[in-house]
Amino acid sequence: MEMFNPPHPGETLREDCFRPLRLTVTAAAKGLGVSRGSLSELLNGRNDISAEMAIRLEKVGFRSAESWLRDQFSYDLWHARRRAKAIKVIKVTPFPAPRAAE
C-alpha cells in the first residue's frame, strides 16, 4: 500500500533514533564512521540513504538495512510519481518478427 507523502528517511532517523537517545550529529557521525556534514545532509533530507549507510545504521542497531532502503525507495517513488504528470511518453509498438529464410 502506497503511503501518502512518506517522510524522508533522514527525518525518521533523526526523530525515531537520534532524538530519543539525545544523540548529537557530531556523536552519531563519529559512531557511524561518516562525516558530520554528510550525516547532517541526510538528516535534513538533502541526501539519500545509500546501501552503505543503511548497513552502518543496521550495525549500530537502528533497524535493518533493508527497511532503511525500503523507506528510501518509497520516498523516491512517491516523489517520482508526483513528477510523472509532466513526463511525456509515446506508445512504442514492436516491429513485426522477421520471416525465416526459406
Q: What are the domain boundaries of the chain? A: 9-76
CATH 3.30.365.10 fits 9-76, yes or no: no
Is the pTM of the predicted complex or chain greater than 0.85? Answer: no
Higher pLDDT, 76 or 88: 76
Higher pLDDT, 46 or 82: 46
Q: What is the pLDDT of residue 102?
A: 63
Banded model confidence at residue 99, pLDDT cuts 50, 70, 90 = confident
Q: Quick one: cell of 15?
A: 526523530
Higher pLDDT, 13 or 82: 13
Type of residue numbered 79: H
Residues 6+ apart with CB under 8 A from 8: 45, 75
Encode pLDDT of 29-66 as tens digits.
Answer: 999 999 999 999 999 999 999 999 999 999 999 999 99
How far is the C-alpha of 61 from the C-alpha of 71, rounded, in Å?
A: 17
Q: Which H helix or E strand runs over 31?
A: helix 25-32
How far is the C-alpha of 102 from the C-alpha of 71, rounded, in Å?
A: 56
How far is the C-alpha of 82 from the C-alpha of 97, rounded, in Å?
A: 37
* pLDDT at residue 73 is higher than 80: yes
